[in-house]
Structure formats: C-alpha cells, structure tokens
Amino acid sequence: MGFLIVFLGFFIILILSFIATIYIYIRFAFAVKSDTEVPAWIYKIGQSFKSRSYITFDNVTDSTAFKEATLFIVRLIFINLLFIAVAYHNTHSLTFAAYKCIKAQFALVLVTTFIQKIIKLISITRAKLDNPVYSYASTNAVITSIFFTSFILMLCTSMAGVPVKPLNVQLDNTNVIIGETTAADLISSGFTFKDASPNDIVVNQRNDHFYYGKLVEITKDGKSYGNMFLTPESGDKDKLRNCIVTFYRVEATNNQISKVKINNTRLENLRYNDFNSKKMINIFSLNPLDYKEDTYDNSFSLKVGTDEYLIWKAYWITADFNDDKSPYRYSVGVHHIKWE
C-alpha cells in the first residue's frame, strides 16, 4: 500500500509537471507575440538548470529565444520518431516500440539537450562580433521543465511497468491462474494438499524475494502434481483455502507430467533443443510488451515485466535441464512487492 501511495505521488507530480511545461511554453509564446518579458519565475527556472555553477543565462525574451525552444521540441519529437522506427524495425511491434520509447524518454531528452548545446556552441563561434548572442534563460526554462517531466516519467514508468496477461498452468485440465487462483478453487476441482488442511493458517514470513507463504505438495486421487507456494492475498496470514497460488513447480520425472501444461503447452513434449533454438515466448505462445529471456548453463528463464518493483504483477518461467540435457524441472511464478 505504501508503494502504491508513493507511485500515486510521483504520478501527480508528473501530471503537474507536464501541465507546467505547457503553461511555460504558452506564456513564452504570448510574451514574444506581445513583445514583453516572461514572468521572473520563468527566468529563475531557466537559471537553475545548468551544467556548471559559473554559467549564467541572459534574462531575455525575444523571437530567437522562442525559436530555440520550439526547435528543441521539434528535435525531441524527431528523435522520438526515429527511436520508435528503429525499435519497430527490430521488434515488428509498434506497441512495444512505443512502450520502449516512453521508458527511454529521459535518455532521449538528454540526447536532445546535448545536440542543442552543440548547435548553440556552433552558432556562438560563427556569430559576428557586433551581433550579441544570448544564452536565453527563457529558452532554458522550457528545456528544464521538459527535462524534469521526462525524469519523473522515467520513475513512474519504472514503478508501474505495464499490465500483462497472467500465466496459466493446466493441471489435469484444471486451469490455474498464477497470482489469482485460490486453494479453494483447486479443492473444488478435486485437488488436495499433502499434510495440509483448508483451515490451516498460512503465514507469509516476507523473507524472500520470489517465494511467499507456504510450500505445499498438490495431489489428486493420491497422485502428486508437483509443489506450490500458497500466499495470503493481502496481509501476513490467512486460512489456506483463501490463499492464492503464487508459484508452481513440477519435476520432469513426475508421473503426472503428461497432464501438466504451461499456457496450454505440454511439458512432456519439450526438449532442450526447443529452448536452445527458440524464444520462450514462442514456446509458450506469449506476446508480452515487456520481457527478458536469459540462459544460465542448463537453465532457461523468461521474465514478463522486467523491472524489480512494479504496480502490476510480474511473472516468470524457468526450465531446468540436467547435464545430459534431459529435462529436470519447470517452474512458474508471480512477483509483486505487496508479498515481500
């Protein structure tokens, strides 16, 4: 809850900063049109953002200053479009390219600012001695507000992530939604938990980054289907039947492996070469916006939602193999700060 409040605080700051940026630009435009100065507080904003303490900006408002501010915005838009084009060329997904562009906005503003400084330096060196060249505080105020807005946007994007479709596990044709399905749902489908009863109290010790609550073995008709972590959905403890499934793991040697699927993909049919030659998102028929795949020796992992702390849930799948490349085990989990 505290993390959500922090995020909402940053989001409100982002909205206010965006509105302030538009307001500063509009006030700038009206000042140039009416041949007046921008308010003193705009000059102060422009004077506050500088790479060296000894650098000073000129409190001047004229058409050249407004032109520089406008060209900065135009260049930023062009760099954004170029970034999206390159990202789209690499991923063939316009939505993913746009999302990556939003995440990279702060870096793109830095690049645009660097280009602006180079162009300004060239114009100063080429200017005639009898023509004064100003370093406009009014122009820098617009750049400063855009810089600050992009920084807050980066923080908000990193904290929020994007909502992703939950991962599913099918156990003997029973669909288990990781992070949503409760123990009661499984019990009603004929499953039981070895050495655990529905009224047992499950305590989330909050001592692990990925595993929350109580590890239990799930069975049906006396046959094991692997292991699960059952987690109180909110709070530190709850009855087992009310807890949700946040992790599932099954050994490849499990006798019921033929009845286990991840996202409708049969695990018994998977081999080392599948993971070594294909992307995991293709193996499990996923199309997430934000994901990362890694390979560690004989282990393959997919993370959907790559930032550590998110408003939305993040999911992961791992496939482990033995040294002889035979399947060892498969795991599916969900991560969220509220369970840590």
On the question of pLDDT at 5 being above 90, the answer is: no
What are the start-end ranges of the E strands in the chain?
168-171, 174-177, 192-193, 201-203, 214-220, 223-231, 237-239, 244-251, 260-262, 265-266, 291-296, 299-304, 314-321, 327-335
Last residue of a domain, one of 160, 185, 208: 160
Same domain, yes or no: 56 and 117? yes
Last residue of a domain, one of 98, 128, 160: 160
Same domain, yes or no: 193 and 327? yes
Confidence of residue 305 (pLDDT cuts 50, 70, 90): confident
Q: pLDDT per residue over 39-72, tens digit each?
A: 999 999 998 877 665 567 889 999 999 999 999 9
Cα torsion 198, 266, 330, 96 to 10°: value is -100
Provide the whole-model pTM. 0.77
Q: What is the predicted pLDDT for the residue at 50?
A: 73
Same domain, yes or no: 134 and 211? no
Distances (CA, A) of 119 to 54, 67, 77, 105: 21, 13, 17, 21
Q: Mean pLDDT over residues 268-283, rounded? A: 94
Last residue of a domain, one of 113, 142, 160: 160
Residue 257: give the domain boundaries: 168-339
Same domain, yes or no: 300 and 154? no
Find how far residue 173's CA is from the centre of its chain: 32
On the question of pLDDT at 79 being above 90, the answer is: yes
Q: pLDDT per residue over 17-47, tens digit each?
A: 999 999 999 999 999 999 999 999 999 999 8
Domain count of the fold of the chain: 2
Poorest-pLDDT segment among 1-10, 22-31, 291-300: 1-10
Same domain, yes or no: 156 and 178? no
Q: What is the predicted pLDDT for the residue at 49?
A: 78
Same domain, yes or no: 81 and 213? no
Same domain, yes or no: 156 and 181? no
Distance CA 336, CA 182 (A): 17
Same domain, yes or no: 119 and 175? no
Q: What is the predicted pLDDT for the residue at 188?
A: 95
> Contact, 176 vs 260, CB < 8 A?
no
Per residue in 113-136, is it b (16+ CB within 10 Å) or e — as a string? beebeeeeeeeeeeeeeeeeebbb
> Contact, 112 vs 147, CB < 8 A?
no
Bridge-based pairing of strands 314-321 and 327-335 is antiparallel
